[in-house]
Chains A and B, each alone.
Chain A
């Protein structure tokens, strides 16, 4: 099994190296196929390991080598294969290979074709390190690696300065979170004297419940998760990250990197269960994020921006689940969200490809006639995210709703509203894009065509997954013995307390109540669908350019001016401080250094006058010196 795990991780690395070194000289088809195949091979290997695991298998730790020992803490470089990491790896490699396949078609006209696949493979490698690592340090390595790849890929078209700025923004915001994560890891090491998951889980009981150390540690870890998973206040990078190519948005910012934060919290469940205060904090932030992002998505005009805010909002949902202690629910939503969000992004990419790189929805419309496959798959994705009954999205979201109700019915109401908002903006997106008449230019109309198979095939696969993916974790009350499969499956990963907390949350609601809640949700879904269809198709409401909105719509379109606030309060002071430091450097430090240099030159010039070749002069000075030495000696005696 060890060699298999090494193969899983190293195959993308091999792809990265080969494409990086030789990609320029290889034909495009080779580069693309190689990159896709290595990821697909990792997926196949993971599947084989997956079927060897069942609910009761204990985590398998594979030690690659002893890394270092400091102050009594032994850190090994190793991998932990258990249900949680296997699940993440399957998502990463599975959806990753689909997106690689898609990119072959999408990026075929791009000059940096091989570079794209190089970065993608590097990203897969880093993400695998992140989820397969056996201790926090390897997680951190992968964490940084995906941050780097995110920067590289967002700023892929680096000649455009705006894209470069977006990439920088993503990286810097990530960094802020990374600091929190690092401090958290240090604190763990300081308290428990170990940083691998199994040891920390064993020693977790040494922390007192809700004591200051554990609150500090979990808060720091959560700050790291905030940066990576785009929660309030570190979320503004994700919409700007849409500057990257669409496959990047699909892979990194929908399915994998942004879920790293969720993975971190679930992995550290033994710590978070001891800090209910922090869990409440997570809940609060999750709500805030979901609400704000949903609000912004209602009036965005760029198709990718709507999807970006949708991602942030759904991540908020996941963190709400984590805050409620429902770890398996959060992981379930990670999985279903990966399916339908990747589908939506790839579909949007297909639309953009058909529209000759137009991303503004005001110029789309009536596309369902021209790009049928994209239309159908996109519709399935929209239905999934909005909660169409029996699709994956509805099941996972409903589970979060139930868990919220179990904690406090008010939470359920708030989540209900948020789910309605989700459905609203998604249907708005769908109708503006695919229905009505075409509002673009004649040129674009001529170019409208369906995407090649390499692009539509992943769409179809993901659509199928979005439909059936929910059935692995049906809630309790739907019987047949298949219920709560995921919860049981993840049991070995969670500690006793976490599992108990989760079980209490999820089964705390009676059967009848659950049915009523489910009914309410389904009813809401159909109401929203009808309402939005009415507005945009029958009444033909149009999307306005950003500046023409008024009232609440303006706040939504302008994203509550948060970006501008950040810019004024945080970015500008730093820039000014930087300029001041530069001026100080030029005005003060430069003259000092120059002075030293000039001083050396001047003193040399002065000393040069001593050597005038005049022998008598030399003898004179010599005798003078001897005399002075004698006197000084005399005086000192």
Chain B
């Protein structure tokens, strides 16, 4: 197992990971921009976070530094808390207006 992993790490250039993660991130941004369902938007945020996590872990593996993976761990913790609170808010949104469409929440207009 370890040997295959080492080969993998040695042979797959880091740029591939960069491109992949950037792509995932941009897809996440796209989702946040284009979707109007609040839950899906939150999911896209999770996608963005995941892409960042992956990139961090890749960097840490490629340079033998454990700090990156530790940071990923903490990001996951924060993401979990954030999702919990966010979904609670969405539940409240639904309870008040019977819809989770973000375009009808424009009460804070100037």
B33 close to A612 (CB less than 8 A): no
Minimum CB distance partner of A616 in chain B: B102
Q: Quick one: which of A615, A619, A620 contacts B105, CB cutoff 8 A?
A: A615
User: Chain B contact residues (Cβ within 8 angstroms of A): what range?
Assistant: 10 to 19
Nearest A-chain residue to B110, judged by Cβ: A611
Give the distance to chain B from A462, nearest Cβ to Cβ, in Å.
83
A613 CA / B102 CA spacing, docked (Å): 10
Query: In the complex, A613 Cα to B103 Cα: how many Å?
Result: 9
CA distance A610 to B108 in the complex (A): 12
Verify B102–A615 contact, CB threshold 8 A: yes
| Chain B residues within 8 Å of A608, by CB | 110
Question: Are A620 and B33 in touch, CB under 8 angstroms?
Answer: yes
Task: Give the CA-CA distance A612 to B106 in the complex, in Å.
Answer: 7
CB nearest neighbor in B for A624 = B33
User: Contacts of A613 on B, CB cut-off 8 Å?
Assistant: 105-110
Is the beta-carbon distance between A612 and B109 smaller than 8 angstroms? yes
Interface string of A115-147 (1 = CB under 8 A from B): 000000000000000000000000000000000
Q: 1/0 contact trace for A601-619 toward B, CB 8 Å?
A: 0000000101111111001
> Of A610, A611, A616, A623, which contacts B103 at CB under 8 A?
A616
> Is A619 a contact partner of B32 (Cβ separation < 8 A)?
yes
What A residues does B106 contact at CB under 8 A? Answer: 612-615
Chain A's interface: helix, strand, loop or mixed, by majority?
A: helix
A479 to B102, CA, bound (A): 120
Number of A residues with CB within 8 Å of any CB on chain B = 11
Among A610, A611, A615, A623, contact of B29 (Cβ-Cβ < 8 Å): A623
Chain A residues near B102 (CB, 8 Å)? Answer: 615-616
Residues in chain A near residue B105, CB distance under 8 A: 613, 615
Residue among A610, A612, A616, A620 having the largest count of chain B Cβ atoms under 10 Å: A616
Complex CA distance for A252 and B110, rounded to whole angstroms: 70
Minimum C-beta distance from A400 to chain B (A) = 87
What separation, in Å, do the CA atoms of A616 and B34 have in the docked complex?
8
The answer for the CA separation of A615 and B29 in the assembled complex, in Å, is: 14
Contact partner of A616 among B36, B109, B110, CB < 8 A?
A: B36
Whole-angstrom distance between the Cβ of B56 and the nearest chain A Cβ: 20
Query: Would B33 and A616 count as touching, CB distance under 8 A?
Result: yes
Chain A residues whose CB sits within 8 angstroms of the CB of B32 once the complex forms: 619
Per-residue CB contact flags for chain A residues 8-45 toward chain B (1 = under 8 Å, else 0) read: 00000000000000000000000000000000000000
Given contacts A613-B105, A613-B106, A614-B106, 14 further A-B contacts (CB under 8 A): A608-B110, A611-B108, A611-B109, A611-B110, A612-B106, A612-B109, A613-B107, A614-B109, A615-B105, A616-B36, A616-B102, A619-B33, A623-B29, A623-B33
- List 22 A–B pairs whose Cβ atoms lie within 8 Å, in order of A's numbering: A608-B110, A611-B109, A611-B110, A612-B109, A612-B110, A613-B105, A613-B106, A613-B109, A614-B103, A614-B106, A614-B109, A615-B102, A615-B105, A615-B106, A616-B33, A616-B102, A616-B103, A619-B32, A619-B33, A620-B33, A623-B29, A623-B33
User: Which 6 A-B pairs give the minimum distances between C-beta atoms?
Assistant: A613-B106, A613-B109, A611-B110, A613-B108, A614-B106, A612-B109
